[in-house]
Amino acid sequence: MAFENMKAFFAEWVPKIDRELYSFLERKMEMQTDPFNRRVVEEILRFAKSGGKRVRPVLVVAGYLGAGGEEPERAARASISYELLHNYLLIHDDIMDRDELRRGQPTVWKSFLDHYVKCELERHDAESLAMAAGDLAETYATEALIDAGFDPETTVLAVKELHEIAERTGYGQVLDISLEFLPIGDVREEDVLRVHELKTAKYTLEGPLHLGARLAGAEEDVFKAYSDYAIPVGIAFQLQDDIIGVFGDEKKTGKPVGSDIREGKRTLLIVKAYENATPAQRKLIKAVLGRESATPEEIEEIKDIIVETGALDYCKQLMEKLVEEGVASLRDAPVEEGVKGVLAELAEYIIRREK
């Protein structure tokens, strides 16, 4: 099967995935007779409709076709399981990060807080409702995968794959949070890259490609080929995310610029900046990093340090190297040629995007 390009591939499959996703959640909402439960499912649907490029479910379809799968429509039906898993993780992530905005709209916990304002809902209660919504989205993910209609053996293996992906992502989240406990001077580059591998590379690229391959009944050499591509490109994906989080346009990203600095995230930008900083610059990084009340002026000073120490250039060069490595691995991969082209284009897009 041949594809014109990445843009055409996404244009074909995103609308189909959205139809499956929204239809699934609308059915779930209609089943609820209790107004509070209906409101929770309605919120999951609102969140699902709030944006996102559907990269992960599209990659499930790509992984399936690249491994020789012959029922892509069924794979698209199964792929919404990954988007539901993604929504579950984002809902919980926004609680952990105390973020009020996602894709330019209220996060789920903030939406509950605003919706029940007349009830004088406490923030803790709004976060609890959001956690329940996330938990429901996780159960929906498994249900959607089972309902896709693959044979029982394939379905069991696919569900196991999905849960292993979620487990690895959870370990990545634990490591990410744990790094915030450490003094910035004790965090090493390899620590940050390990988090990026578990929390982004394996989750955003390898996971969906492997799930698609599993649905197609692929041999192990296909899984290895997808990993050889996904791990370096996925790490590059996160590095670009971190750059956008500090230097991006808030109108395009939908998140406050500098939020990673205020949250104290140990990104490679910050780790390399601290490593190369002067004593005065290190003192400022320590004073601002992780302080929610950091002013826009202080955020700008940290951005200047990131540039002046060469940390920004270092991360950009590392991204280029990783993408080159990932794309090169596709040349002799036992993957359908059209899918190779889509993946190569995606890798280049990842480090050029602005949101």
Q: Give me the tens of pLDDT residue by residue for the chain, a chain 355 residues long.
A: 445 699 999 999 999 999 999 999 999 999 999 999 999 999 999 999 998 899 999 999 999 999 999 999 999 999 999 999 999 999 999 999 888 989 889 999 999 999 887 777 899 999 999 999 999 999 999 999 999 999 999 999 999 999 999 999 999 999 999 999 999 999 999 999 999 999 999 999 999 999 999 999 999 999 999 999 999 999 999 999 999 999 988 877 767 778 889 989 999 999 999 999 999 999 999 999 999 999 999 999 999 999 999 999 999 999 999 999 999 999 999 999 999 999 999 999 988 888 8
In a domain, 212, yes or no: yes
Is residue 68 in a domain?
yes
Residue 221, pLDDT score: 98
Distance between terminal CA atoms of the chain? 30
Domain extent at residue 128: 6-230+329-345
Query: What's the pLDDT score for residue 32?
Result: 96
Helices 220-247 + 337-350 axis angle, to 10: 20
Q: Is residue 335 part of a domain?
A: yes
Q: Which amino acid, 109?
A: W
Contact 113, 121 (CB under 8 A): yes
**Measured CA distances, 120 to 109, 115, 126, 130, 324 (Å):** 14, 10, 10, 16, 53
Question: How far, rounded to the nearest angstrom, does the alpha carbon of residue 277 sit from its chain's CA centroid?
Answer: 30
Location of structure tokens 């996602």? 102
Give me the DSSP letters along 301-323: HHHHHHHHTTHHHHHHHHHHHHH
pLDDT computed for residue 291 by the predictor? 94
46 domain-assigned: yes
The answer as to whether 276 is a domain residue is no
The answer to the question of residue 312 being in a domain is no
3-state DSSP call for residue 194? helix
Phi/psi at 56 (5° precision): -65, -50
Q: 256 in a domain, yes or no?
A: no
Domain harbouring 196, CATH code: 1.10.600.10
Total domain count, the chain:
1
The DSSP secondary-structure symbol of 90 reads H
Spatial distance between the Cα atoms of 294 and 335, rounded to a whole number of angstroms: 48
| 139 lies in some domain | yes
